[in-house]
Amino acid sequence: MPLTKGRCQCGGVEFTVNGPLRDVVYCHCKMCRRLTGHLVAATACAPSHLSIDRSGTLRWYASSPEANRGFCGNCGSNLFWKPVSGSHVSILAGTLDDPTGIQGAAHIHVESKGDYYTLADGLPQHHGGEHDVRLPEAG
Ligand SMILES: [Zn+2]
Ligand SMILES: [Zn+2]
């Protein structure tokens, strides 16, 4: 079973993913851009596959009625995006240890993209938050 570790910059939050990771979806919405300083590159896993090994500084922020965002209250690292539906947990890909074994798959909310960068990687670009990048089956 794949096993991936990740953490925030200061180490106050550490986690392990005990299952497959979804390929990366890049979100260009204004919330993601404002909260992180740029766009969000998010992988995801099944909620049952995420174990938080160290959570002393983990904080949750309800960025909308649909989702909560997990971050480190000490160093400010953005870590998780968790929909209230409980369908999955998104993990900000930059917080994972390399190698991750995943790759970019799609862009969402491109209508809110900043004017200071271009998208030229050839990946599908979606208006709004819908995409067809799925979690792999646990195997
Ligand atoms: Zn931290
Ligand atoms: Zn977003």
User: Which ranges of the chain have pLDDT less than 70?
Assistant: 1, 139
Global confidence as pTM: 0.95
Residue 26 pLDDT? 98
- Rounded to the nearest whole angstrom, what is the distance from the C-alpha of residue 56 to the centroid of ligand 1? 9
Q: Which ligand is nearest to the CA of 30?
A: 2
CA–CA distances in Å: residue 119 to residues 93, 94, 111, 113: 18, 19, 12, 9
Residue 137 pLDDT? 84
Q: Which ligand is nearest to the CA of 72?
A: 1
> Is the residue at 123 inside a domain?
no
What residues sit around ligand 2, an ion, with C-beta below 5 angstroms? 27, 29, 32
> Is the residue at 79 inside a domain?
yes
CATH number at residue 90: 2.170.150.70
> Is the residue at 9 inside a domain?
yes
Range of the domain at 42: 4-112
Q: Which ligand is nearest to the CA of 36?
A: 2
Q: Which ligand is nearest to the CA of 76?
A: 1
* Distant-in-sequence, close-in-space partners of 60: CB < 8 Å, separation ≥ 6: 68, 69, 70, 82
> Is the residue at 122 inside a domain?
no
Residue 1 pLDDT? 60
Residue 139 pLDDT? 63
> Is the residue at 138 inside a domain?
no
* Distant-in-sequence, close-in-space partners of 118: CB < 8 Å, separation ≥ 6: none
For the stretch 3-20, pLDDT in tens is 999 999 999 999 999 999
> Is the residue at 132 inside a domain?
no
Residue 2 pLDDT? 74
> Is the residue at 17 inside a domain?
yes
Overall domain count for the chain: 1
- Rounded to the nearest whole angstrom, what is the distance from the C-alpha of residue 51 to the centroid of ligand 2? 23
Q: Which ligand is nearest to the CA of 112?
A: 2
Strand 13-17 relative to strand 58-64, pairing: unpaired
Residue 138 pLDDT? 73
CA–CA distances in Å: residue 26 to residues 23, 33, 65, 129: 10, 11, 21, 10
Residue 119 pLDDT? 97
